[in-house]
Amino acid sequence: MTNRDADRRVEIPDSHPEGSRRNWREKGLGASRDTARREDSGPETEQLLEAVVERENLWRALKQVEGNKGAAGVDNMTVEQLRAYLREHWLRIKEELLAGDYQPLPVRKVEIPKPGGQGMRMLGIPTVVDRLIQQALHQVLSPLFEVSFSESSYGFRPRRSAQQAVLKAREYVRAGRRWVVDIDLEKFFDRVNHDILMSRLARRIKDKRVLRLIRRYLQAGMMANGLTTVRREGTPQGGPLSPLLSNILLDELDKELERRGHKFCRYADDSNIYVQSRSAGERVMKSITRFLERRLRLKVNAEKSAVARPWERKFLGYSLTWHREARLKVAASSVQRLKEKLRGIFRRGRGRNIGRLIEGELTPLLRGWMNYFRLAEVKGIFEELDSWIRRKLRCVIWRQWKRPFARAKGLLRRGLQEVRAWESATNGRGAWWNAGASHMHAAFPKTYFDRCGLLSLLEQRLRFQLAS
């Protein structure tokens, strides 16, 4: 059976006539910025739920959810089981949605370590059915709010990226704004005030059924160890709707910063404001902290926030040099985080073939990391990382040999003379020392790892530069 045939087996009926659907395409989803501004409080925002359950919108949502895959929710239904479930139950679900009777299931609580080991980040995993409905909601609501979002907001938005935010930050620093107000919101996703968020949504959304459905998603319980707790604040990360809701709430911060004439970059809850002096930065920090706490009921994390030089802080994994023409570099904490991931791979790879270890685990990680940090202009860290990775691989090889006889035999096979091979194999030093010694460099030079397919970060950086 082809994919197209499989698609046809899930019947998702239209929810309103063709004329209404065409009206939606022209007015709600495909409109220009000016048109959307004129119409965001018009009659089409009073019938949003019909657009949410429209067949074409649901198909897009279904394919997005299937493409994202992800873990099962509290009902243990997998993404692979979703289509079969929809064939049997979608008409009932649609009727409940349109009648305003649909009740989301609780989300499954999952905790993952924060980068750098600084506490745990709480995720809430909705069921796959709720992920489908949230994605369908996102696709309809996003165009209504996107037209008025700030140009300085880069997170979770179409055709915008962290790299764009980093480049804009560099532009501000080069223009003479050599102080940064780095604002960190304490447990932002866990502490979003539901009433404030719903009031911001109600400014654009006139369909009370949609507002009621969103509030039910906000208040859906969180299940852990079989027990469900009620949520009265927060929009836990893990659902398709949470990023949009966070942007809607923090758009008020963006508008306030624009009203005051500040230059800033915001990516989700990570905000950097660029000013020309420390005293200006301290005034901004004090006033914006007061605005966030009084207007949006959000708390600034005083320990992680600071007024400092841009090269003393990191933004989205990058930092800057102190030069007048500031250059982008990889932040030290980002390098450390990569090394921690690599150490885990090297520990698991002690009994594996080096070529398969490189191809199966190292290459995907390094390629993804380098693709993100391709804007870095300081190359020294890439040379250092390349050297460190090769030394760790030599360390893995040395440990795989285990005994002096195996080590001497391995070095002989790699072309070392007998006397040198035996002296090296019996030197009594540890694996890390030997991995950096001349005998292992001679036995396993860079060309050996190149033939194994090891990605060179320095060479990848050069390719990115040539391509751009």
> How many of the other CB atoms lie within 10 Å of CB of 190?
15
Cross-strand bridge partners of residue 328: 320
Q: The tokens of 345 are what?
A: 């791979």
Pairing of strands 270-275, 318-320: unpaired
**What is the spatial distance between Cα 49 and Cα 212, in angstroms, rounded to a whole number?**
11
Q: The tokens of 179 are what?
A: 């102080």
Between helix 128-146 and helix 55-68 the angle, nearest 10°, is 110
Contacts of 292 (CB under 8 A, 6+ apart): 183, 185, 253, 298, 299, 300
Q: What is the pLDDT, as a whole number, of residue 115?
A: 67
Residue 168: helix, strand or coil by DSSP?
helix
Nearest Cα residue to 297 out of 193, 187, 186: 193
Distance of alpha carbon 329 from the chain centroid: 20
**What is the spatial distance between Cα 364 and Cα 277, in angstroms, rounded to a whole number?**
42
Cross-strand bridge partners of residue 373: none
Q: Which strands, in side-by-side order, build the sheet including 270-275? A: 263-267, 270-275, 179-184, 306-308
**What is the spatial distance between Cα 288 and Cα 454, in angstroms, rounded to a whole number?**
47
CA distances from 426 to 327, 415, 443 (A): 47, 17, 16
Residue 243: helix, strand or coil by DSSP?
helix
Nearest Cα residue to 377 out of 447, 311, 309: 311
Cβ pair 79, 66 in contact under 8 A: yes
**What is the spatial distance between Cα 53 and Cα 137, in angstroms, rounded to a whole number?**
9
Q: What is the pLDDT, as a whole number, of residue 1?
A: 44
pLDDT tens-digit map of 151-189: 999 999 999 999 999 999 999 999 999 999 999 998 888
Pairing of strands 328-330, 120-125: unpaired
Q: The tokens of 119 are what?
A: 């506490």
**What is the spatial distance between Cα 167 and Cα 273, in angstroms, rounded to a whole number?**
14
Q: What is the pLDDT, as a whole number, of residue 32?
A: 37
The dihedral of CA 10, 15, 17, 20: what is its sign? negative
Please spell the DSSP secondary structure of 305-348, one letter per residue: -EEE-GGGS-BTTEEE-SSSS--EEE-HHHHHHHHHHHHHHHHH
Q: What is the pLDDT, as a whole number, of residue 229?
A: 76
Q: What's the pTM?
A: 0.83
Residue 300: helix, strand or coil by DSSP?
strand
Cβ pair 362, 455 in contact under 8 A: yes
Nearest Cα residue to 43 out of 62, 16, 4: 16
Q: Which residue in this structure is represented by tokens 């780095």?
A: 182
Q: The tokens of 411 are what?
A: 């070095």
Q: List, in sequence order, the alpha helices (H) in 349-417.
A: 354-357, 363-372, 380-401, 404-413
Q: Which residue in this structure is represented by tokens 């709707």?
A: 241
Q: Which helix (H) or strand (E) holds 263?
A: strand 263-267
Q: What is the pLDDT, as a whole number, of residue 184?
A: 93
Instruction: State which residues of the chain have pLDDT below 70.
Output: 1-46, 115-119
Cross-strand bridge partners of residue 271: 183, 266
